Structure 1
Amino acid sequence: MSDAASRYESGAELTTPEPKKPSRRPLTIFLAVAIVAIVAGATFLAAGDDAFDLWGSEPEACAVESAPRSVESSALPSARQSLSDEPILQWRQVEPPVDDRSAYAYSDLHSTDDGRVAVVVDEGGVHRLELTVDGVEWESHPLPQGVDPRQMHISDDRWIIVGRVLEDSGARVDGFGFPRVLLSDDRGASWTEVPLDPGTPPFFEDDYTGTIGLHVAADRVLLVSYIWPVPQFAELIADRGLIDSTDDIEHLGLGTHSVTLWMRSDESDEDSPVIEISHDDLELSPRQELLLNRWVAIVTSTEGLTGYVRTYSGDANGLSVTGDFDLDADLVSGVATRDGFMLSLGERQGASRVFASADGRDWSEVQIDPPIRTHFAGARGGETMWAASFSDGSSSSIASFRCGQAPRTTAVLEGLAMGPPYDPGLAVGAGGLAAIARSELSTDPIWVGWSTDGVVWDWQTAVDAFGFEPLDTGIQIAVGEGFVLASVDGPYTEDSGWFVAETP
């Protein structure tokens, strides 16, 4: 039995009530014939025709262009970037919002819609939210203690956090259970739970392996997640009347579009009867069939897949499943404006597929020619989304999007590679854009860039900015209104610190 199959065989206990399932015992799963049944393209499943009727969203708010736009046609002439003699950002070290060694920054720095910067702090297992308007003075707010906060959205009085369920002792209840989504309309003074419908059909369970993103457009909420579906074959086969009892199953495996059962024999283990049951005989619903194909592709993959991308959408009244995306999606990012949502799913071969939706429910693909790896970083002004794009290891580009439209390249950073893996190296906030990049040679210093419009960039080395050379993945940066805040880790403890710079 593969490690992947063994790890997920038992499934996860969901946080919302499910119909009671028959009892089951562990099954040894042998993959008799390795099959990869990946559904071609992206498959989207609606949560229900009336799920979003009350929103009043205009369909054209995030309309997808009918023809692909060439990225190259909108690109500015590339120019090799150079360091500024007098950098715009003048950094100074500041105290972080922690009181003692038991407290530490628990989340990345987060730029809020209203120009502040936020961070979650963990102090002795108790979480709190810290907010600043200048990077120097901080305002502290307690967070509910029943959740392990991993994603947040802060905008004026409305705050949303997403995280794993915690016991009173502070320990996680279930590492693969569905998260809690909590909303406050009074700046954290009180919180209400947003119901999350897992959308799990009978005879399946879902392991929730992580929250990738939380995005908010007006009153619409989008949760982007990794899911590992877990089929309960024995109970399903018994329910269909194809076997008398699950107790008689010795082993269970997969064939081509079939399930194979090795049944116990009273006479000899060597003569155990073998039964092959086709998927057609299982009478799967369309959603059960999709989840089965997802599961087969995961456990037979040689690429170390940890799940597939699923979206949940809704409002304060509840979230439900609105999209199941390709299994090979690896690098995932998203962004929202008042017009809607966009997602970028970076495939392992290096390109990205970009999708848009006005309401987080109905998704359409934005055709980009040529396809390139794109990572969304944030939005400004309620309409413009920003992303970093990567064509190779020696150059990067900055691009702006309007919801549903192909990118408009604003700067080509020739000779600079932005960000470490899984990080765009681009921060977007009310005041402008900040970037972290390295020149073509890995031995060259890290650069820090600043732009108010995404077109004209001002660069300095990290050594000049902070007084030491950070680790490759050692810079977290966020942009507020009138300031930029950075948390910087160096090779030695004494080199680490928080820094702030004022912006024009």
Structure 2
Amino acid sequence: MDISQESGLVWTEVDLSGVFDLDVDESLELESVGDGRVLAVSASPDVVNNVLVTDNGVDWAALPIPNGFSPWSVDITGERWLILGRDPTKEAPGTQILFSDDRGSNWTELAVELGPFDGTAWIGNAIVAGRLIVAAVQSDTWQPQLDEALDDDMAYEPSEKHVHLFLSDGGPAELVAEFQGWYTGGHGASDGFHLIISGPAAEDYLLHSPDGRQWSSTIVDVHVTDSARNELWTADPTDGRFKLERFEGVFGSDQVLTLPDGIGWMPDLAVGPAGVAAVGGPASPNDELGGDFTLPDISIEKNGYELRYNQPEGGITLWDLNEDSAVYVFDAETLQSEGEFQGVSEVEDASGSNVVFHDPETGAELVAFSGEELAAAVTEEVSAAYSEYDPDEFIIGWSTDGTDWEWQTPQEAFGLPESTPDDNSFTQVQVAVGHDFVIAMVQTYEFLGSDFGEDAPIGVGDSQSDSTSAYLTTTTSPSPPRWFVARVE
């Protein structure tokens, strides 16, 4: 991975084995609170202290979470704390919303009525701004008619997805708005609530409300999936710093962030008062064009002519080498149009398909390129471009403003051994940012025998939503996590 400004933080390994007394196969997620603190959250109900917080990366204290409650979202940025999770002791342990106004001494459940909606409905998220809480409920009308068909004759009713927004000031939750689409994320801030939904036509909509009741909707051109995202969303940057300040002195992880050169995706991103930390995956040779296929820069010479791909950009030129001039020039727009190209024909023979160029004046054949020749040239060029590309490679990034980055390999940062083609393992790195420190949790997973299939990804992950996390199953054997802290000014 060719990344400029290769320098970075000075990491020191710290022993936190006495703090996190977990079985190695129990998941633990790091999260930047945004105000200088860092959370470590375990979703396991068997862990007594499943939410811990630190303000220096070394000394940790447990948050008072109800016994047996398994949280998957924790927000302690304001005076009203909010957690989402499940109580597995309940008969129907769906997602619960709990809030506390006394820093966790007492918790109140916010009940949300899911009954009125067609199909299946569930709580997608809840976010808090001040003392107001907005709960996003997702519903989907899709239901397979399993009792009517069990084979190829099965028919599915058209599916309708809706996001229903409920508002509460601590009392009963009230339905205040409904949008067609799919909820993908949101946060509370000093100016109210910000949500993103993906509409039925695949547009992304930014919803904003100053009070949780009146909502405005704006189409935004962003990618909000967990992989291969090009930008994250937020309010406008100020003073050249691209951090989103949710509340005074509290920064959010959702921010405008154009991917640095050479980075194709960020499986982990953390923002705090000190800056921005990230785990970056490599950009593929084709990422600069957003993943769309582009013509390679190749030339195929034959019988005094040269077929030049990507000349002009996105087009093709047939060049007469003897006359040193172009015979045909097809630009990108012409190539993408339907219909035949003047002066060019496709001829089938015993060897397959051939592209034949004719004299523009007489119509006589000038030169023919077989499909095999064209395919071989393109394959060779693409193979060369990807020869140095390793999608499983990752690096650790640090930036004080989200624009200028310093990078380290895991070997440079944490002293990890160099990977080899025979490795039967992958390493997961999570990062979080505090007031004057960055913390990283590093854990290696070894695949167990033949249970590891070719389709399982190898890489890094950061949260429940990360696609990698779904593969951390019984087919892997995790090592105890290692912890590293870097001090920043």
| TM-score normalised by structure 2 residue count | 0.56
Counterpart of 1:248 in structure 2 is: none
Contact 1:102 1:124 in 2 (8 A): no
Counterpart of 2:432 in structure 1 is: 478
Counterpart of 1:432 in structure 2 is: 275
Counterpart mapping for 1:333-482 below 5 A = 333-346=185-198, 352-368=204-220, 371-374=221-224, 390=229, 396-397=230-231, 400-402=234-236, 411-420=258-267, 425-440=268-283, 441-443=389-391, 445-468=393-416, 474-482=428-436
For the pair 1:326 / 2:180, whether they are aligned, the reply is: yes
* Bigger radius of gyration among the two: 2
For 2:102 and 2:406, locate their aligned partners in 1 and report how far apart those are by CA, in whole Å: 39
State the AA in 2 paired with 1:352: D
For the pair 1:188 / 2:104, whether they are aligned, the reply is: yes
Counterpart mapping for 1:63-462 below 5 A = 82-95=3-16, 98-102=19-23, 108-121=29-42, 122=44, 124=46, 126=48, 128-145=50-67, 147-155=69-77, 157-167=79-89, 172-175=90-93, 177=94, 179-194=95-110, 196-198=111-113, 200-201=115-116, 207-209=120-122, 211-228=123-140, 300=158, 308-327=162-181, 329=182, 332-346=184-198, 352-368=204-220, 371-374=221-224, 390=229, 396-397=230-231, 400-402=234-236, 411-420=258-267, 425-440=268-283, 441-443=389-391, 445-462=393-410
For 1:119 and 1:408, locate their aligned partners in 2 and report how far apart those are by CA, in whole Å: 22
2:173 is paired with a residue of what secondary structure?
A: strand
Displacement of 1:361 in angstroms is: 2.6
Equivalent in 479, 482, 488 of residue 497 of structure 1: 482
For 2:391 and 2:141, locate their aligned partners in 1 and report how far apart those are by CA, in whole Å: 43
For 1:223 and 1:323, locate their aligned partners in 2 and report how far apart those are by CA, in whole Å: 11
Structure 1 residues 355 and 132: alpha-carbon distance in aligned structure 2, compared to 1, 3 A threshold: same
Aligned length: 324
Residues 76-99 of structure 1, C-alpha deviation per residue, up to 9 Å, x if partnerless?
xxxx97244431353534415755
Stretches of structure 1 that go unaligned for 5 or more consecutive residues are 1-79, 232-250, 254-296, 377-387, 391-395
Contact 1:416 1:437 in 2 (8 A): yes
For 2:413 and 2:480, locate their aligned partners in 1 and report how far apart those are by CA, in whole Å: 13
Structure 1 stretches of at least 4 aligned residues deviating more than 6 Å after TM superposition: 347-350, 469-473
Displacement of 1:443 in angstroms is: 4.0
For 2:49 and 2:121, locate their aligned partners in 1 and report how far apart those are by CA, in whole Å: 22
Displacement of 1:427 in angstroms is: 1.6
Residues 234-292 of structure 1, C-alpha deviation per residue, up to 9 Å, x if partnerless?
xxxxxxxxxxxxxxxxx999xxxxxxxxxxxxxxxxxxxxxxxxxxxxxxxxxxxxxxx
Structure 1 residues 130 and 409: alpha-carbon distance in aligned structure 2, compared to 1, 3 A threshold: closer
Structure 1 residues 500 and 299: alpha-carbon distance in aligned structure 2, compared to 1, 3 A threshold: farther
Contact 2:222 2:233 in 1 (8 A): no
Contact 1:226 1:309 in 2 (8 A): yes
Displacement of 1:398 in angstroms is: 5.9
For 2:195 and 2:91, locate their aligned partners in 1 and report how far apart those are by CA, in whole Å: 30
Displacement of 1:145 in angstroms is: 2.7
Counterpart of 2:379 in structure 1 is: none
| TM-score normalised by structure 1 residue count | 0.54
For 2:112 and 2:486, locate their aligned partners in 1 and report how far apart those are by CA, in whole Å: 43
State the AA in 1 paired with 2:394: I
Contact 1:400 1:410 in 2 (8 A): no
Contact 1:102 1:123 in 2 (8 A): no
* RMSD of Structure 2 on Structure 1 (CA): 4.1
Contact 1:221 1:314 in 2 (8 A): yes
Structure 1 residues 315 and 197: alpha-carbon distance in aligned structure 2, compared to 1, 3 A threshold: same
For 1:95 and 1:355, locate their aligned partners in 2 and report how far apart those are by CA, in whole Å: 41
Contact 2:5 2:405 in 1 (8 A): no
Structure 1 residues 197 and 314: alpha-carbon distance in aligned structure 2, compared to 1, 3 A threshold: same
Displacement of 1:146 in angstroms is: 6.0
State the AA in 1 paired with 2:396: V
The sequence identity of aligned pairs, in percent, is 28
State the AA in 1 paired with 2:411: V
Contact 1:350 1:372 in 2 (8 A): no
Contact 2:275 2:433 in 1 (8 A): yes
Displacement of 1:362 in angstroms is: 2.5
Displacement of 1:117 in angstroms is: 1.0
Contact 1:97 1:130 in 2 (8 A): no
